[in-house]
C-alpha cells in the first residue's frame, strides 16, 4: 500500500491529504447548512426529505425568542467590548509605557482568568450575584464576559501600544502637545489596528460565550448560544442549525476581516 502510495505523483498525495482535511473541516459545516434548510429528515434518508424555510419562519416569529436572543447577544457583546476597551486601554498603556515594579506579577494576574478552568468560578459568581441581585441581568452577564476577555484585550492592548514608535510621541511632546493630547492624537490612532483586533476578539468571545451565561443569565437573559443549546437538547435540530448559522455570520465575517490584523508582530509581542 505504501509502495503504491509512493509511486503516486506528489500532487495527488498532497491533494488527497488536503481533501481529507477539507472534508474534516467543512463536512460538519455543510451538515449544519443542510439542517438549516430542512423541513423533514428522518432515517433512513441520507439527505433531507423535504427542504424548506418553514423553520426560519418559526425561529423569527415574534414569539420565537430568536429576535430577543439576537438583540440580547448583540447588546451584551457591544457592552462587553465597550467595558473591555475602557478597562484595557489605560491598563495596556500603563503596562507598555510606564515603569512598574511588579510588571510580571500584574501580567500574570491578568492571565488568571484564562489560566484556570472557569466553570467553578462561574458557579460561584452566580451564587454571589444572586445575593447582589445581579443574577439574570444583562449587567451581570456583561461583567462575566468582560473579565473573561480581559486578559486577551489587556495583552493585545499592551502589545499594540508597545509597537507604537516612541520617537513619534516624543516629537509631539517636543512641539508642545500635552500628554493627554499626545495620547489622543498620536498614540491612540497608531495603536488603533491592534486595539480593533482586540475589540473584535472580545466581541466574538462574548457573542459565542455559553458557560458563563448558562450560570448567570438563565432564565431571564437568553443569548443566541443558550437558545441554540436549548433547541439542540430539545431535539430541534433545524432551529439549532439556523441559530448556529446566525452565530457564524459575524464570526466568519470577522475572520475574513481580521486576517489583515493577525500580523506576526502583534502575535509575537503577546506574552512579552
Partner 1 sequence: MKAQTTLLAAAALATALATGAPTPGYAETVLNVVTAGDQNMVDYVNDFLAPRFEMANPGVKVRAAGTGPGDGGSQKILEKLEAQQKAGTAAWDTDVAVVHQVGAGKLVEARLLAKYRDQVASGKLVTRSTAENALGTDVGGYVLPMFHSQIALAYNPDLVKNPPKSYAELVEWAKANPRQFGYNGIKGGMSGVGFVMGWVAANSDLGAKLEKGPYDPADKAKIEQALGSLKAFNQTITFTPGNAGTLDMLNRGEIAAGPVWVDMFYTWQADGRLNPSVKLALLAPGLPGQPMYYVVPAKAANAALAAKFIDMATSPEVQAEGIVKRFNWYPGIDAQHVQAKLDPATWNKLFTDVTPEDLASKGKPFPLGPYFKDIMESYERVVAN
Partner 2 sequence: MSSPTEATAGTAEASASAVRVFAATAWREHGLAALLLAPALLCVLLFFVYPLGHAVVGAFAIPAAGDAPPGWGLGHFARAFDLYGTDIVFTGVLVSSSVLLTGVLAVVIAGYLTLGETPWAVATLRWLYRWPLFIPFIVAAQMMRSFLAKNGLMNNTLVGLGVLEPIQTIGFLDWRGVVATFVWKQLPFVTLLVAGAMAALDRSTVEAARNLGAGRLRILLEIVLPQVKRTLAVALVLSFVTMMSVLSVPVMINAGSPTLITVDMAYRINAHGDYGVANALGIISYLMTGLVAWIYLKHGIRQHGGDPR
- Is the dihedral angle over the CA atoms 269, 203, 185, 151 positive or is it negative? negative
Near partner 1 by CB under 8 A: residue from 32, 34, 82, 107: 82
Name residues contacting partner 1, limited to 39-68 (CB under 8 A). Answer: 39-40, 42-44, 63, 65, 68
User: Helix or strand or coil: residue 50?
Assistant: strand
Name residues contacting partner 1, limited to 208-227 (CB under 8 A). Answer: 218-220, 222
Smallest Cα–Cα separation from 95: which of 82, 111, 106?
A: 106
Interior angle at CA 168, CA 270 and CA 108, nearest 5: 25
Among partner 1, partner 2, none, the one that 98 touches (CB under a kind-dependent 5 to 8 A) is partner 2
- CA 109 – CA 107 distance, rounded (Å): 5
Distance in Å, CB of 25 to partner 1, minimum: 24
CB nearer to partner 2: give 1 or 233: 233
Do residues 217 and 226 touch, judged by C-beta distance below 8 A?
Answer: yes
| Per CB under 8 A, 107 contacts partner 1 | no
- What is the CB neighbour count within 10 angstroms for residue 264? 7
The contact set with partner 1 (CB under 8 A) reads 39-40, 42-44, 63, 65, 68, 71-72, 74-75, 78-79, 81-82, 85, 130-131, 133, 135-136, 188-189, 192, 195-196, 199, 218-220, 222, 230-231, 233-237
Amino acid at each position: 500500500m505504501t509502495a503504491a502510495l509512493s509511486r503516486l505523483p506528489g500532487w495527488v498525495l498532497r491533494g488527497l491529504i488536503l481533501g481529507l482535511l477539507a472534508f474534516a473541516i467543512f463536512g460538519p459545516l455543510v451538515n449544519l447548512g443542510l439542517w438549516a434548510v430542512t423541513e423533514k429528515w428522518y432515517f433512513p434518508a441520507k439527505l433531507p426529505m423535504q427542504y424548506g424555510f418553514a423553520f426560519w419562519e418559526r425561529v423569527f416569529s415574534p414569539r420565537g425568542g430568536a429576535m430577543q436572543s439576537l438583540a440580547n447577544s448583540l447588546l451584551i457583546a457591544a457592552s462587553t467590548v465597550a467595558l473591555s476597551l475602557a478597562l484595557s486601554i489605560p491598563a495596556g498603556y500603563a503596562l507598555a509605557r510606564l515603569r512598574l515594579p511588579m510588571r510580571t506579577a500584574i501580567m500574570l494576574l491578568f492571565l488568571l482568568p484564562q489560566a484556570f478552568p472557569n466553570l467553578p468560578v462561574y458557579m460561584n459568581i452566580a451564587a454571589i450575584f444572586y445575593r447582589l441581585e445581579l443574577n439574570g441581568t444583562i449587567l451581570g452577564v456583561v461583567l462575566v464576559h468582560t473579565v473573561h476577555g480581559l486578559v486577551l484585550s489587556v495583552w493585545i492592548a499592551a502589545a499594540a501600544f508597545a509597537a507604537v514608535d516612541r520617537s513619534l510621541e516624543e516629537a509631539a511632546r517636543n512641539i508642545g502637545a500635552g500628554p493627554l493630547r499626545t495620547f489622543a492624537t498620536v498614540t491612540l490612532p497608531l495603536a488603533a489596528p491592534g486595539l480593533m483586533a482586540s475589540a473584535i476578539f472580545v466581541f466574538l468571545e462574548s457573542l459565542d460565550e455559553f458557560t458563563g451565561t448558562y450560570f448567570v443569565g438563565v432564565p431571564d437573559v437568553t443569548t443566541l448560544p443558550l437558545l441554540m443549546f436549548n433547541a439542540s437538547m430539545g431535539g430541534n435540530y433545524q432551529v439549532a442549525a439556523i441559530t448556529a448559522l446566525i452565530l457564524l455570520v459575524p464570526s466568519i465575517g470577522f475572520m475574513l476581516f481580521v486576517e489583515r490584523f493577525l500580523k506576526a508582530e502583534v502575535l509575537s509581542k503577546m506574552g512579552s
